Amino acid sequence: MRIKNIALGSSGLKVSNLGLGCMGMSAFYGETNETESLAAIELALELGVNFLDTAEIYGPFKNEILISKAIKGKREKFMIATKTGVEVDDDGNYKGVNGSPDYIKKAIDRSLKHLETDYVDLYYIHRIDPKIPIEETIGAMSDLVKNGKVRYIGLSEASASTIRRAHSVHPVSALQTEYSLFERSVEENGILETVNELSIGFVAYSPLGRGFLSGEIKSIDDLAPDDWRRNNPRFQGDNFKKNLEVVEEVKKLSKEKGVTPSQLALAWVLHKGYSAIPGTKRRKYLRENVGAAEIEFSEKELAYIDNIFPQGVASGERYPPQQMSSLNV
Ligand SMILES: NC(=O)c1ccc[n+]([C@@H]2O[C@H](COP(=O)([O-])OP(=O)(O)OC[C@H]3O[C@@H](n4cnc5c(N)ncnc54)[C@H](OP(=O)(O)O)[C@@H]3O)[C@@H](O)[C@H]2O)c1
């Protein structure tokens, strides 16, 4: 198995099964380096990775602007996914979840301006607004498809019933939600079942457990003082210690298989036929991650993995309480 294009949903969108999460290039995960990030995006294309993931809130706006530089002159070679629905004002101040048609119509024009393009391949609703019926939000997204600003639409962190309601207004091409050896709740809360039934593509974000599964994070001091992960319960106190023990299992298994822990974790997602969008700001990690697409698993290995990484294996919630409450699950 190598990097290949897969269909996301049944509406015609095709993207590389391994994408590139660009968030950390501009926000949340410590220091940034524009030169290296641009080189990583260039390398991604050479390696067959054409699916770039960003959002207006990454930076805010800085990540979309970075991507505009990377895609200049070769826009059509990339599949650009960006997100709206968490409001930021034009000065980059966070205003909270907002799925109103007015905000979405404003946000797409701003994203297109920052990305320096006249269309987005995949436009996600980043978080579901409990104050606005999803039908209204999707109605506005559908208008963006009709007027050519957006090719396909997606949702992020939506519940099974929200996905169903959204899909009845306009075909949803992709659902993006956290999924990894650390985080398998979509297997049990009806979400994977629903997207499979409706032929909606599934995009696994944080497929490396926000870096934990790589085995490179050994102490909280490996994270910069302003790294957002310091606020994430999985990286705190006893949870951190317990999660390191889970990572030891990943290391053991990957060693036996002659691959790296990151490759093992990513290969597991790809093997299921989903798209994975590991985040990295470095060419070195990107090259390593692309190797995941060549890894095969036997039935015996898959059963072993299921046994040692069951749902709930990671200690701690995946977000701090306030952000946890903004998930529609
Ligand atoms: N929809 C949502 O709500 C949502 C939420 C979170 C993320 N996302 C998207 O999903 C993407 C991926 O998620 P994520 O970045 O949170 O987590 P992730 O992909 O699980 O992990 C990223 C972390 O792993 C490190 N890493 C990557 N490859 C590595 C390797 N081979 N060896 C060692 N370390 C490696 C990265 O390091 P460096 O950064 O140092 O390269 C980074 O710290 C994001 O970029 C974003 O686009 C979406």
- DSSP class of residue 39 equals H
281 CB within 6 A, ligand 1: yes
- DSSP class of residue 83 equals E
Mutate to test the pocket of ligand 1, among 66, 208, 243, 260 (most ligand atoms within 8 A of CB): 208
**Residues assigned a catalytic role:** 58
* Nearest alpha carbon, ligand 1 atom 38: 280
From CA 234, how far away is CA 251, in angstroms rounded?
Answer: 18
282 CB within 6 A, ligand 1: yes
Both tokens assigned to 46:
């050479």
Single-letter code of the amino acid located at 283: R
Place of tokens 């951190």: 240
Task: Domain 5-324: give its CATH code.
Answer: 3.20.20.100
Both tokens assigned to 175:
């659902």
pTM exceeds cut of 0.85: yes
63 CB within 6 A, ligand 1: no
279 CB within 6 A, ligand 1: yes
**Helices marked H in the chain — which ranges?**
34-46, 62-71, 101-115, 134-146, 160-169, 191-197, 237-257, 261-271, 283-290, 299-308, 321-324
Close Cβ partners of 2 (under 8 Å, ≥ 6 residues apart): 48, 293, 294
Single-letter code of the amino acid located at 228: W
In the reported structure, the alpha carbon of residue 165 is separated from the centroid of ligand 1 by a whole-number distance in angstroms of 30
| 141 contacts 112 by C-beta, under 8 angstroms | no
Place of tokens 């949702």: 155
Burial of 93 (0-12, 13-18, 19+ CB in 10 A): exposed
- DSSP class of residue 18 equals B
pLDDT at 182: 95
In the reported structure, the alpha carbon of residue 143 is separated from the centroid of ligand 1 by a whole-number distance in angstroms of 32
| 145 contacts 170 by C-beta, under 8 angstroms | yes
| 314 contacts 230 by C-beta, under 8 angstroms | no
Both tokens assigned to 134:
């999803």
Q: What is the pLDDT along the chain (329 residues), one digit of tens a residue?
A: 589 999 998 989 999 999 999 999 999 999 999 999 999 999 999 999 999 999 999 999 999 999 999 999 999 999 999 999 999 999 999 999 999 999 999 999 999 999 999 999 999 999 999 999 999 999 999 999 999 999 999 999 999 999 999 999 999 999 999 999 999 999 999 999 999 999 999 999 999 999 999 999 999 999 999 999 999 999 999 999 999 999 999 999 999 999 999 999 999 999 999 999 999 999 999 999 999 999 999 999 999 999 999 999 999 999 999 999 999 98
From CA 213, how far away is CA 235, in angstroms rounded?
Answer: 12
The residues spanned by each domain of the chain are: 5-324
From CA 280, how far away is CA 283, in angstroms rounded?
Answer: 8
Q: What angle do CA 264, 329, 249 make, to 5 degrees?
A: 25
pLDDT at 200: 98
* Nearest alpha carbon, ligand 1 atom 44: 21
pLDDT at 1: 54
